[in-house]
Structure 1
């Protein structure tokens, strides 16, 4: 069964490009969201295996959304990967304290990169 993914990003162009890329790599993109409210609604409804969250959601913070997603998940810890076009070092302290499982730069986004991250997180 394919990994089921929700993409949260305020760029429609990126969401579509990421969907095509990930689906070509065998990951089922079950939904996309542009805002925290949309993301929380889809998260509850779709129950994805993985959520990719852009750190910069325009007026909103991806870091805040990750915390809200974890609260909404109740007892289960959701698998969330933070994404950004910016370098990981720009957010190193916030990434380190985030409940997200990892950070992945958008240029390195692929099914293989996600698989490696999740294998390490599950080990």
Structure 2
């Protein structure tokens, strides 16, 4: 089964590059967004399996989007992965309190990395 992904980032060049990379690695990018409001609309429309959210969306914090996505679907918690060019240690306190399931450096973004995170999520869910 193909993984359906929504990418949220305010850099159009990154969006295009990430989409191309992930689709070459058998991740179906069903949509992209560059603001919180656009991301919420696209998320509701597309119901992706995983949503990649940049920590910094211009003037909007990606952490806020992660919280809003989880609050919007209390029964079936969405899989949100934070992404950034910054190192995880730079935001470790905020990442720890965020409902996202993982952090992934943009330089390590790959289909395999996403599948590994999703595989870990499946193992951590109650039967």
Q: What is the TM-score with the length of structure 1 in the denominator?
A: 0.98
The aligned runs of 1:1-123 (5 Å cut-off) are 1-123=1-123
Displacement of 1:32: 0.2
List runs of 5+ in structure 2 lacking aligned partners.
Answer: none
Runs ≥4 residues deviating over 2 A? none
Give the whole-Å Cα distance in 2 for the aligned partners of 1:73 and 1:49: 13
How many residues in Structure 1 have an aligned counterpart in Structure 2? 123
Give the whole-Å Cα distance in 2 for the aligned partners of 1:33 and 1:83: 14
Displacement of 1:91: 0.5
Cα RMSD (Å) of the superposition?
0.7
List runs of 5+ in structure 1 lacking aligned partners.
Answer: none
SS at match of 2:82: strand
